[in-house]
Structure 1
């Protein structure tokens, strides 16, 4: 492998032992595994990547001790150096490691530079499903860089999050299979409708999160938390326990967006269907009606047909109501991808 950037001190060949990056893995997690495989401490490894800082205090030892709390960033030459050491094309590393995305690249194309701040600039470090990692030959702890602070492994029925407490291999969803089913439903909406499906799920998730904050003692949510060994009113439990209701509500929102009817009668009918779901879930309809009305208000007008393709386009895209465009961001955690505050 030949470096694309000139320099006297850059690496010229891969390290003897290679490791493959896990899809979605943080750069820091991958670098730690690569260093460990070659018997190198983090500081020794980083000397081969370029120059930089380990944290705000420059304490590389602390970063090495707590890789689950930190993320590594590089500039263009730093990426090339890392690719040489890993023995992999830079493009492959970029596809696998979201921390190497162009928008997260450090500036400068002169000297190779890396930074290892104490917190990721964006996103959350979520422990990888250990079963997924083992299938790829990874036996040590690895970390995803994820938009949200949690992630579902439907293949192995595990809830993985950014908690640093036991169990280290995630929470088993064996006793709450409806959470896995909800995750698959979310994936189906995204496959079918692309970004529109994911944003409507974000809307539904925000509504369900508001319900949980208003009435956290709903029995189904308490039982799910207990089944996974969580304290039912903890913020860690919240996304897990509301996932099934959010997925069902998202489907109802999709059906509303697919309809051309937005008049008072159509909105009242949709609200009645949503309230019927709340009743079936033993939620207080009056206490939880507010966010539903807020969502209906934002979606009361159909999408502008001149600005977006039709809802039944050949690629299955679903144009969303004009009022939905007030998003905090099209990327990032779910709360930022929702039209609801």
Structure 2
């Protein structure tokens, strides 16, 4: 197959052996795999993509050794060069590889340019679930570019993160089915409420994270960390151990958001439900009430559903409180997508 790109002075046909990008894969991970499949060193491959540089402390040899730490970015012509070499339309690569999103595009429409800084400009490189990768024919290490530093693979009960020292196939969650179920609940929340569901999960996650920082020795969290052979007070353990409580609390928040009644009685009733959950989880209610009160304060006024309906995002099926929408970002890691600091 030969891909002809009008006005392109560079590669005119794909490499002999092609690889498919994994959904969510980092550009650097994909490029490394494509180069390896064709017996090319990274420096030789990059000569075909255009001209570019790494950071002052990073060159092609170094990034070839540490693809788990680095990410590649291209300008418009560089994307077209890469698409030709990969035997894929540029739009297909952009859908699969988040590092090729328009906001990451390098400036310049003349020469093809790439850059390979030592750290991603946004997000985290998280090791792909090896079983998911193998199911797609990938037999070498591959890396996702994720907003957060971790991801759950519910299909294979694995906890994958950006650690360079933990098992390369992720941490097994077979002893923690509640974490896998929490991830599925998060997905159901998103399917039912769209982007708003994900932002409510971000709020709940921030509340649970504040609880963990206040009382990290709660037995259920300690036991979950130990089940994965993690140090119980490690920051890497935190997202994993609080996931079930965050998912449960997110649904309670969604229940509150669906009602336009936000008076004192309604807020008091909701707070009572949340505190009852804390008691059932053996959390100190007095020590952990603050984040709940902060959330209630920001959500005390319902969304103005009559204001500018045409500009409301299509995926925001549940309009969120005014105090939330003014503070939360629609994209980025969980802490940015929450109205809580």
TM-score range, shorter chain: over 0.9
Q: CA deviation at 1:306?
A: 1.5
In the TM superposition, what are the counterparts of 1:270-289 in structure 2 within 5 Å?
270-289=270-289
Structure 1 regions of 5+ residues with no counterpart?
Answer: none
Partner residue in 1 for 2:52 = 52
Matched residue, 2:323: 323
Give the conservation status (yes or no) of the 8 Å contact 2:151–2:159: yes
**Aligned partners of 2:105, 2:252: CA distance in 1, in Å?**
40
Q: Give secondary structure in 1 for the equivalent of 2:14.
A: coil
Question: What residue is the counterpart of 2:17 in the other structure?
Answer: 17
- The answer for the alignment partner of 1:109 in structure 2 is 109
Distance 1:220 1:301 in 2: 34
Q: CA deviation at 1:213?
A: 0.2
* Number of aligned residue pairs: 336
Aligned residue in 2 for 1:336: 336
Bigger mean CA offset, 264-273 vs 321-330: 321-330
**8 Å Cα contact 1:4-1:80 kept in structure 2:** no
The 3-state SS of whatever aligns with 2:68 is: helix
Does the 8 Å CA contact 1:271/1:292 hold for their aligned counterparts?
yes
Cα distance in 1, alignment partners of residues 277 and 331 from structure 2: 29
The equivalent residue for 1:71 is 71
Asked if structure 2 preserves the Cα contact closer than 8 Å seen for 1:55 and 1:63, the reply is no
User: Residues of 1 paired with 2:20 and 2:315: CA distance?
Assistant: 34
Task: Give CA deviations for 1:23-67 in whole Å, capped at 9, x if unaligned.
Answer: 000000000000000000000000000000022235221111101
Paired residues of 1:308 and 1:319 also in contact (CA < 8 A): no
Aligned pairs (5 A) from 1:94-243: 94-243=94-243
**Aligned partner of residue 45 in structure 2, secondary structure:** helix
- In structure 1, what is the equivalent of residue 91 of structure 2? 91
What's the counterpart of residue 3 of structure 1? Answer: 5
2:253 maps to what in 1? 253
With normalisation by structure 2, the TM-score equals 0.96
Q: Distance in 2 between matches of 1:305 and 1:163?
A: 43
- Determine whether 1:61 maps to 2:61: yes
For structure 2, the residue ranges without an aligned partner over 5 or more in a row are none
How well do the aligned residues superpose, as a CA RMSD in angstroms?
1.4
Give the superposition deviation at 1:259.
Answer: 1.3
SS of equivalent residue, structure 1 residue 145: strand
Instruction: Tell me the equivalent position of 1:298.
Output: 298
Distance in 1 between residues matched to 2:45 and 2:248, nearest whole Å: 48
In the superposition, the TM-score normalised over structure 1's length comes to 0.96
Secondary structure, aligned partner of 1:332: coil
In 1, the alpha carbon distance for the partners of 2:245 and 2:331 equals 23
- CA distance in structure 2 between the aligned counterparts of 1:166 and 1:337, rounded to whole angstroms: 28
- Distance change in 2, residues 1:216/1:70 (3 Å): same
- TM-fit CA distance, 1:254: 0.3
